[in-house]
Amino acid sequence: MSKRSDKKELKEFLKPSKLSIDEALTTEDPVYEVARRLNHLPRNKLSRIERNFEGVFYFFGATLSGGFLSSLGSSSGEFFHETEAFAATYCSPELATILVAVKSIFPDAHVPKDQNLREGLLENLTDNWESDPFDEAEAGFYVLESDFRRGLLDYVKKYRNEFANIIEAE
């Protein structure tokens, strides 16, 4: 690759070009294209549908890259409940069951929205287990990645009108 090509790719990554929802849906990875454009906009400018998508995508990505311990211990853990509800509606029963199992590891089967509370609970949980308590759930989650992506795509298609303007916005 040339320097010019590298600069062009970096510029596109930092400030994605306009893309209609119809164009996004025909790309190689429509979910990613929608998510990265939403990510460049202020959260308070997003509709409820878009915020839900962004939060679920954020939790999903954080879990794929670092596992449940990482995603639940970081700010992405704030979106666990939205992700659980999303999976129950748009994904396979197996994926929804995995998230219920993750939740059941917490006291009273409740994952706090507050990051400090989650971090404290996770610290206690990991102290009481000989290994990562989420290992089994993660293995199943990784296997069902395509199911989750399909659910995100179905969500975008269902609410395509909610996403149309935001993808074209600067």
**Burial state string for 18-49 with b = 16 or more CB within 10 A and e = fewer than 16:** ebebeebbeeeebbebbbebbeeeeeeebeeb
In a domain? residue 8: no
- Res 18: pLDDT: 80
Helices and strands (DSSP H and E) totals, the chain: 10, 0
Tokens of 31: 């979910």
Residue (of 109, 124, 10, 13) closest to 69 by Cα position: 124
Report the C-alpha gap between 90 and 96 in whole angstroms: 9
In a domain? residue 12: no
CATH number at residue 44: 1.20.1420
In a domain? residue 50: yes
In a domain? residue 4: no
In a domain? residue 33: yes
From first to last of the 170 residues of the chain, give the pLDDT tens digit. 566 666 666 666 667 778 888 888 999 999 999 998 888 888 888 899 999 999 999 999 999 999 999 999 999 999 999 999 999 999 999 999 999 999 999 999 999 999 999 999 999 888 877 778 899 999 999 999 999 999 999 999 999 998 866 665 44
Residue (of 139, 145, 160) closest to 168 by Cα position: 160
- Which residues span the domain enclosing 67? 18-168
Residues in the chain: 170
In a domain? residue 3: no
In a domain? residue 91: yes
User: How many domains does the structure of the chain reveal?
Assistant: 1
Report the C-alpha gap between 124 and 132 in whole angstroms: 12
Tokens of 136: 């089994």
CB 134 within 8 A of CB 122: no
In a domain? residue 150: yes
Whole-model pTM: value is 0.86
